[in-house]
Structure 1
Amino acid sequence: MATIKDIASAAGVSLATVSRVINNGPKVGDATRERVKKIMDEMGYRPNANARALVTQRNPAIGVVIAELHDPFFASLAHGIETLCRTRNIQILMSAGSTSPETEMRAIETLMEHRCEAMVVHSKFLDDDTLVHFANQVPGFVLINRYIEAIGNRCVWLDNQAGGKLMAEHILHHGHEDIAVISSRYQILDPVQRLDGIKLALSEAGKSLPDSHIEFATPDQEGGEAAVQNLLSRGVKFSAILAYNDAMAAGALSMLLDHNIAVPDKVSLIGYDDVLLAKYCRPKLTTLRYPIEMMATHAAKLALDCAKGEFPEPGTTFKYTPTIVKRDSVSRVK
């Protein structure tokens, strides 16, 4: 079956333009609209007509787009939204965006086909213009974990650079100088911003982070294991590891123990997110608390308010800052 990406490629237009044609949106010339529709017919692409026919009015449900259903981080995000919606007797429609612009766009379009006028969207792969376009179409469109200036008063986001800086400052305070970083290989802003924060803290302390001390992998337990295995295989010397998230930290911990490297006696380890997993690692994981449930509840309320036409003042910002959670995986250099 043809995808939106296929249609855009064949028509020589952007994904956003195809989306506008599908949803009968503005800012598309008549000639372009007809060309896209013709190509859709030729390639057999059909939007979800059933959902559109069934729903003829505004849907009181709130739509939620997350990347993955099984990830503990997104489970916490969903729980934060569910907490608010349960008190208001509001149904939640969940759509998974996975890790590509095409799947993120389709996840949002699915909720639009159900006429959700309130949405909390976690999008890392769609470009700013496309998301602004969706925000212009959906009154209660709110972004979580991302900031776009044009719709800044509808963004609930975390200062990831501040988080990276904080974790590096914490490890420097414990006397560590040989520091390794294991980060996400996905081309999104979060790992870039966290790494920038780490480098900033090191620079302010008169130190640097060599490229040889950075490993990129998938942001999960398997990625954490692979990243540490690569560091060890290359003979990189380190007394501390700063991980992109708790899942990677858990994988790193497993690999270190497999090599008889005790944490924190030989290597200190810091994660990021403070998901439930962090409390049940052994040793318990020192991490950065990402207040995602609180942020998600805030985002859901904001989406519902905006859907009713109650928008925050332009220039309002909803920025959150992570905090350090001190547990047992960090010790002073001996």
Structure 2
Amino acid sequence: MITIKDVAKAAGVSIATTSRVINNAPHTSAKAQQAVQRAMKQLGYRPNANARALVSQSNYTVGVLVNNMSSPFFGTMVDAIDAIVTAENKQLLVGSGQHQADKEAHAIELLANSGCRSLIIHSKGLSDSQLLAYLNEFPAMVILNRVVPKAEDRCIALDNFQGAYMACEFLIQQGHRHIGYLCSSAPIEDARDRLAGHLAALKAYHIDLNDDAVAYGEPNEKGGEKTTTALLAKNLPITAIACYNDDMAAGCMSVLHENNIQIPTHVSVIGFDNSHIAQYLYPKLTTMHYPIKIMAEQAAQHALTLVHSELKTSACRLYKPTLIRRYSVGPVANSR
């Protein structure tokens, strides 16, 4: 039995493009249409009428790609998008890519083949060139939390570098000069940008860079525990620790409590994201606010607009983190 996959292979285009041609979806190039129609004729492919009727409801479906379904961060993101989509009387489909290129690509194809005309993509695994190809294929796709060169107008991102710079600078302003950093080991630009921002702040204030003061681990509570334990084992004169995110900060604070190191009297801790957990730690966590709700709402509005028209901007919408002062950061003590 000939399938849509066979047609796509013969036409030399993606399954998503083949589906769009079969269902007469807009924004499909004449070249792609001709290739798919030629392949269908050669293979004798006849699309199922019921399937075509189902896909024709794509006006009412918006697809979202996230890292994983269990993260509170992505829960906030999806809830914000769903509120915008529901207000427009449309439905939401969500796929996860686990920040892995093959899984992200597979999820995008599934969303497109399920009839999603608008797509909101949070991708860390796919390359810029791969994302650019998808952006060219799907005119109503928007990238969230990343800037893709040559498609900046369809990207909504956070200035991670500036956020980490501000976090480190706040610690320095409290008198800290021996500052540890818990960095995510995930090979994504968020981790690289936040580390670069932290190091740039140290350099700007003429504080010597100490590679031993940077520890790498998974961006979760367990990773925070392991990296903090590693820092303490080095017996460095650290008076403050900046963390890649609030989850690592939670693990960090747990280890400090277990070792009778008072926060912030002996060691100050600052996080990043302002996630739900931040205000329930003890002491409440000082952190950088990540405006994911506002960013997700903007992405949803852009994606819906692009179905019918082009955006009126040619620049990336870059959001800036803000400092949330709570009780985990204090002035440096005279002695530890």
TM-score range, shorter chain: 0.7 to 0.9
Moved more, 233-242 or 121-130: 233-242
CA distance in 2, matches of 1:100, 1:187: 10
Residue 312 of structure 1 deviates from its aligned partner by 2.8
Moved more, 229-238 or 242-251: 229-238
Amino acid at match of 1:292: I
Task: Output the aligned Cα RMSD.
Answer: 2.4
Q: Is the 8 A contact 1:120 1:144 kept in 2?
A: yes
Residue 237 of structure 1 deviates from its aligned partner by 2.8
Residue 262 of structure 1 deviates from its aligned partner by 1.2
Q: Does 1:118 align with 2:118?
A: yes
Amino acid at match of 2:121: V
Q: Deviations over 1:268-302 (max 9, x none)?
A: 00000001110111100000000000000000000
CA distance in 1, matches of 2:157, 2:108: 19
Q: Is the 8 A contact 2:128 2:149 kept in 1?
A: no
Q: 1:329 aligns to what? A: 328
Residue 115 of structure 1 deviates from its aligned partner by 2.3
Q: 1:55 aligns to what? A: 55
Q: 1:5 aligns to what? A: none
Decide which structure has the larger Cα Rg and report it.
2
CA distance in 1, matches of 2:51, 2:231: 50
- SS of the counterpart of 1:116? coil
Aligned length: 298
Q: What is the percentage of aligned positions where both structures have the same residue?
A: 35
CA distance in 2, matches of 1:216, 1:76: 26
- SS of the counterpart of 2:60? strand
Amino acid at match of 1:321: K
Q: Is the 8 A contact 2:139 2:306 kept in 1?
A: yes
Q: 2:132 aligns to what? A: 132
Q: Structure 2: any 5+ residue segments left out of the alignment? A: 1-10, 19-27, 30-34, 40-49
Q: Structure 1: any 5+ residue segments left out of the alignment? A: 1-17, 28-32, 38-49
Runs of 4+ in 1 over 6 A off after TM superposition: 50-53
Q: 1:216 aligns to what? A: 216
- SS of the counterpart of 2:226? helix
CA distance in 1, matches of 2:123, 2:56: 27
- Go from structure 1 to structure 2 and tell me whether the alpha carbon gap of 1:256 and 1:301 turns closer, same or farther (over 3 Å shift): same
- Normalising by the residue count of structure 1, what TM-score does the alignment of the two structures yield? 0.84
Q: Deviations over 1:180-200 (max 9, x none)?
A: 000110111011111111111
Q: Is the 8 A contact 2:59 2:90 kept in 1?
A: no
Q: Is the 8 A contact 2:15 2:113 kept in 1?
A: no
Q: 1:67 aligns to what? A: 67
Residue 232 of structure 1 deviates from its aligned partner by 1.5
Residue 229 of structure 1 deviates from its aligned partner by 1.1
- Go from structure 1 to structure 2 and tell me whether the alpha carbon gap of 1:51 and 1:94 turns closer, same or farther (over 3 Å shift): farther
